[in-house]
Structures are given as C-alpha cells and as structure tokens.
C-alpha cells in the first residue's frame, strides 16, 4: 500500500529554518509532546495533526497504523514542515522505519522512543526498567529490543495498560476512578522489582503525579515528553535548523472534530486551542 507514495517523498529539499515543526499523534494526547517542544523551543512554529477519526491506534492493526502515519506525514510535508515528530508511541513503534524509508534524508523525522532509549542506556543507574503503554506498543516489544541492543544486561518488564488512554480522554484522573485503575495496573506482578518506569504513551504524563504517588518515590518515573523535546532541540541546533526569526502561528488539525476534543486541549497543551478539521483520507 506504500508504493503509491514512493516518488512523492523525494522532491522535498532541505527546509528553511523558519519553517514549522510537524507533530502528529493518534489523537490529542500528543499535545503533551507539542507543549514540551513549545516550552523548549518557543521560537518554533508547530503544525499538529491529531488523527481523532482513528483513535485509538493501540487497537489498530500494524498495517492500518502505517497507512495512517504515512498519509499524515505526507500532509505535514505538504505544509512545509522542516522536521516531523511522531508524538505517538504506537506509531513510533510500528511506522517509524517505514516513514524513514520513504522520506529518505530529505527532512528529519523523530520517534518518541529512541530519545528515551538513549536516555535510559546512557547511565548505569537503571537495571530493572518497567514500561507501560498501549497493547500495540507492548506487543511490538520495541522498548525491550532497543534497550537490549544498547545494554543487553538490563531487564525490561512491559505491561499493556489499555484503559488508561480512554480514562484520560474522558477526563478521569486525580479521582477515585483513576486511582483505582492505576493501582490495579501498577500492582501487577509483571512490574514488581522495577527501579524505573517509562510512561510509554504521550497521554500518561497527565497522570504522572498519581503514578509517582503510588511508588512514593521509590522509583524514577520517566516522562518522555521533556526528553524528546530536548533531543529535538539538540538535533535541530546541530543541523542549523533552529528558527531565529519571528515564529509563525501554530496550527492544530484533527481528522474528526467534537467539542469535547477542543475542550480537552487545555489538559494536554496547557491552554485551550482551536482545532481545525482537515480530511486527508482519499
């Protein structure tokens, strides 16, 4: 299904530094990454696409996720983005290598997984790492494989926590419902004995305090949003792609619109933003 795009991904030349950074996710959860990038690089304009029509990705097939990711990437490139961030662990785990293949070296693309793996393996501090994420991310085993490739001696204990995303999307956190569900997941024997926990979904930073309270504070909670933002800053600086001009306005798109999505943006981005409906599916 990817061949129809093959020749379209190679006519893009190196983008000027004042062009925006493209960010996409299966919904609006990736706004946590966008928010971190905005704070780390306030001069950068952002073009965000949330595929709310196909939320959640965690229950979709790998081929469907790759297809959605490729279509969104094409949209962001057509918008003139100088770099693209896959602000979704599920899409990062399943579509990242396909996107790199079809984009070549024309513009950089970043997953939210590799910077975290680099962070976790750059020290000898972590020996028993836990990972919580969607079913698709856990099934891909991407964190364990990448961490073991860097440091084979590290133990990685992974647990699918599929109910956390809809819980957060519906606004149930910092209450009895979220406390009960988080306690149930984190009490799972699979996560016993860990010294750190990777929040392997961009929704999960919104419940970081509740997760930290559960462990109180016996383990390190790894929020990938700040790690990813700092990594992208270093990369864009290295490539001389940091914007020095007045930034363009941010743009936020979704593939399906409801009032509840727009109202929820404040939870993820720190302020309510206007979402624009954009249909990109043939």
What pLDDT, on a 0 to 100 scale, did the predictor assign at position 176? 87
CB 77 within 8 A of CB 83: no
What pLDDT, on a 0 to 100 scale, did the predictor assign at position 261? 84
pLDDT of residue 5 exceeding 50, the answer is: no
Mean pLDDT value across residues 227-234: 97
Identify the domain boundary among 224, 240, 263.
224
Could you tell me the strand order of the sheet in which 128-133 lies? Answer: 155-160, 128-133, 196-199, 220-223
Rounded Cα distance, 7 and 34, in Å: 29
Name the residue range of residue 65's domain.
3-111+226-277
Residues 39 and 175 both lie in one domain: no
Nearest partner of 29 among 205, 178, 155, 186, judged by Cα: 205
Residues 130 and 216 both lie in one domain: yes
What pLDDT, on a 0 to 100 scale, did the predictor assign at position 2? 44
Q: What is the pLDDT of residues 7-66, one digit of tens each?
A: 344 333 467 899 999 999 998 889 999 999 999 999 999 999 999 999 888 889 999 999
pLDDT tier at 216, thresholds 50, 70, 90: confident
Domain annotation covers residue 189: yes
Residues 14 and 99 both lie in one domain: yes
Residue 190 CA: distances (Å) to CA of 146, 147, 159, 184: 19, 18, 7, 12
Q: What is the pLDDT of residues 133-150, one digit of tens each?
A: 999 899 999 999 999 999
Here the CATH number for the domain that contains residue 54 is 3.40.50.1860
pLDDT of residue 189 exceeding 80, the answer is: yes
What pLDDT, on a 0 to 100 scale, did the predictor assign at position 172? 79
pLDDT of residue 96 exceeding 60, the answer is: yes
pTM attached to this predicted model: 0.90
pLDDT of residue 3 exceeding 80, the answer is: no
Residues 193 and 151 both lie in one domain: yes
Domain annotation covers residue 91: yes
Residues 125 and 207 both lie in one domain: yes
Residues 169 and 232 both lie in one domain: no
Domain annotation covers residue 282: no
Residues 180 and 165 both lie in one domain: yes
Please give the positions annotated as active site: 88, 201
Q: How many domains, the chain?
A: 2
Residues 9 and 50 both lie in one domain: yes
Residues 51 and 37 both lie in one domain: yes
Residue 54 CA: distances (Å) to CA of 181, 229, 277: 24, 25, 14
pLDDT tier at 252, thresholds 50, 70, 90: very high
The pLDDT > 70 percentage for the chain reads 95
Q: First-to-last CA distance in the chain?
A: 13
Residues 43 and 131 both lie in one domain: no
């Amino acid at each position: 299904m990817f061949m129809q795009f093959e020749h379209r991904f190679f006519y893009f030349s190196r983008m000027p530094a004042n062009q925006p950074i493209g960010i996409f996710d299966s919904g609006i959860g990736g706004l946590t990454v966008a928010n971190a990038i905005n704070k780390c690089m306030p001069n950068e304009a952002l073009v965000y696409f949330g595929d709310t029509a196909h939320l959640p990705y965690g229950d979709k097939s790998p081929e469907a996720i790759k297809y959605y990711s490729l279509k969104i990437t094409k949209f962001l490139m057509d918008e003139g983005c100088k770099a693209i961030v896959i602000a979704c662990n599920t899409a990062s785990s399943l579509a990242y290598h396909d996107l790199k293949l079809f984009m070549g070296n024309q513009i950089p693309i970043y997953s939210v997984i590799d910077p975290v793996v680099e962070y976790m393996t750059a020290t000898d501090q972590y020996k028993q790492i836990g990972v919580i994420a969607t079913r698709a991310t856990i099934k891909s085993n991407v964190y364990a494989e990448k961490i073991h490739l860097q440091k084979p001696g590290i133990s990685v204990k992974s647990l699918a926590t599929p109910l956390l995303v809809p819980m957060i999307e519906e606004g149930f956190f910092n209450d009895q419902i979220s406390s009960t569900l988080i306690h149930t997941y984190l009490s799972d024997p699979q996560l016993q004995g860990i010294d750190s926990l990777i929040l392997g979904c961009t929704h999960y930073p919104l419940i970081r305090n509740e997760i930290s309270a559960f462990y109180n504070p016996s383990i390190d909670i790894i929020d990938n949003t700040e790690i990813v933002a700092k990594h992208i800053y270093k990369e864009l600086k290295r490539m001389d792609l940091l914007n020095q001009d007045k930034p363009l306005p941010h743009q936020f798109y979704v593939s399906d619109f409801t009032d509840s999505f727009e109202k929820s943006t404040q939870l993820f981005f720190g302020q309510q933003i206007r979402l624009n409906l954009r249909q990109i599916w043939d």
